[in-house]
Amino acid sequence: MGRHSCCYKQKLRKGLWSPEEDEKLIKHITKYGHGCWSSVPKLAGLQRCGKSCRLRWINYLRPDLKRGTFSQEEENLIIELHAVLGNRWSQIAAQLPGRTDNEIKNLWNSSIKKKLRQRGIDPNTHKPISEVENEGKTSPSSKNNEKVSEGISDLTFVDSGNSKKTNPSLDQNPLIQNNPSNLAPTHEFFMNRFIASHESSTTDIKPSDLCEYVSFQQLNYSSNNIGLSMNPNSSNFFFNSNSKSSEIESGFNSCVTNTVLPSLPSSFLSFSTRMKSSTSLPPDSPIGHLSTKFQNWDGCSLGNNGSTSNVSRGNCSIFENNAFPWGATDCVKPEKQANVPSSEHEIPEDIKWSEYLHTPFILGNTIQNQSAQDLYGETKSQTQFATEGPLSTTPNWHPNQQQQNLQAAEIYSKHFQRLPTTFGQFA
């Protein structure tokens, strides 16, 4: 099966790119754009397949690439995003400006994995290795410990390192489908509900319900991590639910009484917070006053005039990249969404709800009340997300907006400076 390689078929060049080839490709794309990739090599005069050109451009030649070694902050971010997203490298890369999925994937496989293991954390499950091993011993479906440690265990599926080919989709996660008994009823309840919400567009579960759930957990997660003086016993911080479903409420109540909540990686929590903070809630609402302080979080690009009014789904990379397909606006009451075009309320289908839910639920059995930072044992660096910094400080999804803008400017400047050398006689 599978298509024959276009390179074989057309006797095209393979392997490393020469500077001349790079030059041709850069020259062509800067002049005409890539358009249809399959036509690029022909038009650019390259003996390569379109796929190869695309890859070369995306991973190496694009002017907005940062390159260079990853900072500790970036590594931390990758770890946290991986805990939420698994091996969705492109989605992780979308949160790291100037980094490619390939680069991140390489870093993960060559460096981060190792570091996590050294710290006693299984990089696949983000659980302590000892627990993973125990599960391997006790779980009848785990064939051997090695398999568990590689995260391929039927029960510990989060990321196998080759999920696309060998693992069921997250929606078919056997932990969810086949082992509901392993989950607390509340977990099961929410998982089933959210899976249903994915499978049926007519469900009464909406993105805002997830926001509520996330927020709720946030309160129980680690109050000293949040830095908002949030009272874990107060329900004021998270969205006033206006719950569409009484089941949801009872579910939450169940969570409260059980106080056995799955932990969420802080990145997930920060998503939630940032979603909330980037909405247009009034300043007097529990969330609204935050929004005035979080308008410039770094996932959002400012307008040319530096105005914060553009901070909306349309300008947030995280939303552009569908990390949260429902966007910020879905997390607020309908009347608060008036200033957002209706089209922006639509939920793209490309991201599945359950994909965002599997991690908390899986982690829930093991990392309760322990923050990702605690677990990973890294110092609380500047990448601590909005949830963790004092309100008065600049939100720091990435270190800060100014720095990022500066960085982007430097990158572009650097690449523009490089162009003459790269292009040689090109003018």
Partner DNA sequence: AAGATAAGCAACCGCGATTGC
Partner DNA sequence: CGCAATCGCGGTTGCTTATCT
Write out the residues near DNA by the rule CB under 7 A: 1-5, 7-8, 13-17, 35-39, 48, 50-52, 54-56, 59-60, 69, 87-91, 101-103, 105-107, 109-111, 114, 159-166, 349-350
**Which one, 87 or 272, has the nearer CB to DNA?**
87
Cα–Cα distances (Å) from 394 to 127, 384, 397, in that order, read 31, 11, 9
Task: Provide, rounded to whole angstroms, the least separation between the CB of residue 88 and DNA.
Answer: 3
**Which one, 114 or 143, has the nearer CB to DNA?**
114
Rounded to whole angstroms, how far apart are CA atoms 11 and 49?
Answer: 9
Structure tokens at 294: 């979080």
Closest CA to 214 of 362, 373, 322, 331: 331
Task: Provide, rounded to whole angstroms, the least separation between the CB of residue 55 and DNA.
Answer: 5
**Which one, 255 or 323, has the nearer CB to DNA?**
323
- The phi, psi pair for 216, rounded to 5°, reads -60, -45
Rounded to whole angstroms, how far apart are CA atoms 362 and 126?
Answer: 10
**Which one, 198 or 276, has the nearer CB to DNA?**
198
Task: Provide, rounded to whole angstroms, the least separation between the CB of residue 32 and DNA.
Answer: 13
Task: Provide, rounded to whole angstroms, the least separation between the CB of residue 7 and DNA.
Answer: 5
**Which one, 284 or 350, has the nearer CB to DNA?**
350
**Which one, 200 or 292, has the nearer CB to DNA?**
200
Rounded to whole angstroms, how far apart are CA atoms 305 and 303?
Answer: 5
**Which one, 91 or 263, has the nearer CB to DNA?**
91
Rounded to whole angstroms, how far apart are CA atoms 404 and 380?
Answer: 19
Task: Provide, rounded to whole angstroms, the least separation between the CB of residue 97 and DNA.
Answer: 15
Structure tokens at 251: 């579910």
Rounded to whole angstroms, how far apart are CA atoms 395 and 309?
Answer: 17
| Cβ count within 10 A of residue 69 | 8
Task: Provide, rounded to whole angstroms, the least separation between the CB of residue 117 and DNA.
Answer: 11
Task: Provide, rounded to whole angstroms, the least separation between the CB of residue 56 and DNA.
Answer: 5
**193 close to 247: Cβ distance less than 8 angstroms:** yes
Reduced to 3 states (helix: H, G, I; strand: E, B; else coil), residue 332 is: coil
